[in-house]
Amino acid sequence: MNINKNLFFLAPFILFSFFIFSHCNLGDNEEIYIDEQLPWPERVSITSISSTSLKVEWIDVMQHCSDCFYRIERAVDSSGFTLLQEQFKNNYYYDYDVDAGKRYSYRITTYNNEKSSFEVTLRARYDQANDLKTVIDFPNSWGIKLSNNKQLLSVVGNDTITIWDVNTWSRLITIKAGSKYGSNVQFSDDDSKIVFDADTLIKIANISDGTIIHTITLEHLCYGFTFNTDMSKFLAHTWILIPYKQTEFLECVDYNGNRLWRLDSTGLCTGSLYRPSTNEFIALTRNNILFLNAQDGNANYTLPLKDCVYEDAQFAGNKNDLVTLCYANGAFMFKLNLDTKNRIDTGTRWGRASNLAYVENGNYYIYANDNMIAFHNEGQTWDYFTFAPFIDWITDLEYSSVTGDIILSTLSGIYVYSSQKSYKWFAYPYYGNHY
């Protein structure tokens, strides 16, 4: 499986645009600045102490505003907010007056004598959820990928690829990517090699010692790829940015980087896979799933789906089915039989789902939505189990069928949740109500 979940190559252009907007020089002595907003509490979390007590905590921002204070308010069930405490500087609050049968909303604000920050609100609910097994202190992990035997985990970090043992959670190898932009990593079929993109390159390294043994040079920047079984063909998602216009390509090259064929102006490709039984590359683009002959790139079949943006996809079982997430006026999942092209739709509860894992022996999906983990039985309209372990952005999700663990990558580290469940206080996003 190869999915481009985070298009990090766009970040410099976004930041550059923000800089131009927020800091404009109009002349020798004349400048315009956007009025600074007070720093607001970030990454608010709930720690469960008992069924009648909890701790609300957030990243401290007082070092950025010495004359500021925090204010925290609470709402019970559907009632309005009432003040719990104000004029304090600690980045936490203990609430010893909660009832497991009720739901609470907490609203935290930074303020001083002049103004207030944006309000940060979350809900708290005493609920059943998977137990946190371990946290790996590895911040800014943008993407993760399990090996085919589910024993190894690769992590895409800031210019590094790391390999971890999922049984001991020890780091085995660290590979310097040597790139500004890197978003995808794949294991070879026998799990002896790791393959990753690095700007205009695709690099191949040995798992045993991290040595880079081969490099494939592409014409344009690469933001995703997949390859066939013997690694004789690589389908690269590439792009070129001309002022005010970005153009994407699907480019097939051999092991030595010789171009075999290319599809121009394909639109953004959010993922691709290789199906050995039909010798096809399956590419997901906006509004289409393309079944491409690996030899010449001809489209053997195209499945159109209007206004659909695919978020994730993977094979199920013996690669006769494709399961995927699609965002089209609301997010939904479906399973596609690759032989008959029949599609079985199944709904999702939240509007924007991403980062899909399919548990085949249980016929259910696990997916992420911002900071929430949802479990969804195949064929059901609504999620049957959802919890938010922390207020942080989940950048990727994997499920290990060997250990039964759910593995999340976030900006603050890697979180591993076991299959065991228990009741605790958990934090949920706030969507304008308190129920």
Query: What confidence tens digit (pLDDT) does each residue in 175-209 have?
Result: 999 887 767 899 999 999 999 999 999 999 999 99
- Predicted confidence (pLDDT) at residue 338 exceeds the cutoff of 80: yes
Q: Name which of 199, 245, 251, 203 is nearest 223 in CA terms.
A: 199
Q: How far is CA 7 from CA 20, 107, 248, in A?
A: 21, 32, 13
Rounded CA Rg of the chain: 24
- Predicted confidence (pLDDT) at residue 17 exceeds the cutoff of 70: no
Give the contacts of 105 (CB within 8 A, at least 6 positions apart).
Answer: 74, 75, 81, 121, 122, 123, 124, 430, 434
Burial degree of 154 (CB within 10 A; 0-12, 13-18, 19+): buried
Query: What confidence tens digit (pLDDT) does each residue in 272-326 have?
Result: 999 999 999 999 988 889 999 999 999 999 988 777 778 788 998 778 999 988 8
Q: Name which of 196, 213, 209, 206 is nearest 155 in CA terms.
A: 196
Top pLDDT among 120 and 253 is at 253
- Predicted confidence (pLDDT) at residue 9 exceeds the cutoff of 50: no
- Predicted confidence (pLDDT) at residue 16 exceeds the cutoff of 50: no
Q: What average pLDDT does the chain have?
A: 84
Q: What letter would DSSP give residue 116? A: B
Average pLDDT (407-421) is 89
Query: What confidence tens digit (pLDDT) does each residue in 36-61 have?
Result: 688 888 878 888 999 999 999 988 88
Beta bridge partners of 256: none
Which residue ranges form the domains of the chain, and what is each CATH number? 2-10+132-424 (2.130.10.10), 42-129 (2.60.40.10)
- Predicted confidence (pLDDT) at residue 121 exceeds the cutoff of 60: yes
- Predicted confidence (pLDDT) at residue 350 exceeds the cutoff of 90: no
Output the pLDDT for position 374.
84
Average pLDDT (148-154) is 94
Q: Taking a C-beta distance cutoff of 8 angstroms, is the pair 238, 218 a contact?
A: yes
The two structure tokens encoding residue 251: 């480019």
Output the pLDDT for position 286.
80
Interstrand relation of 193-198 and 185-187 (parallel, antiparallel or unpaired): antiparallel
Query: What confidence tens digit (pLDDT) does each residue in 357-399 have?
Result: 989 888 888 988 777 888 888 877 777 777 766 656 888 999 9
Report CA 336 to chain centroid distance, whole Å: 23
Query: What confidence tens digit (pLDDT) does each residue in 200-233 have?
Result: 999 999 999 999 999 999 999 999 999 999 999 9
- Residues of the chain with pLDDT > 90, as a percent, come to 49
Query: What confidence tens digit (pLDDT) does each residue in 63-91 have?
Result: 888 899 999 999 999 899 999 999 999 99
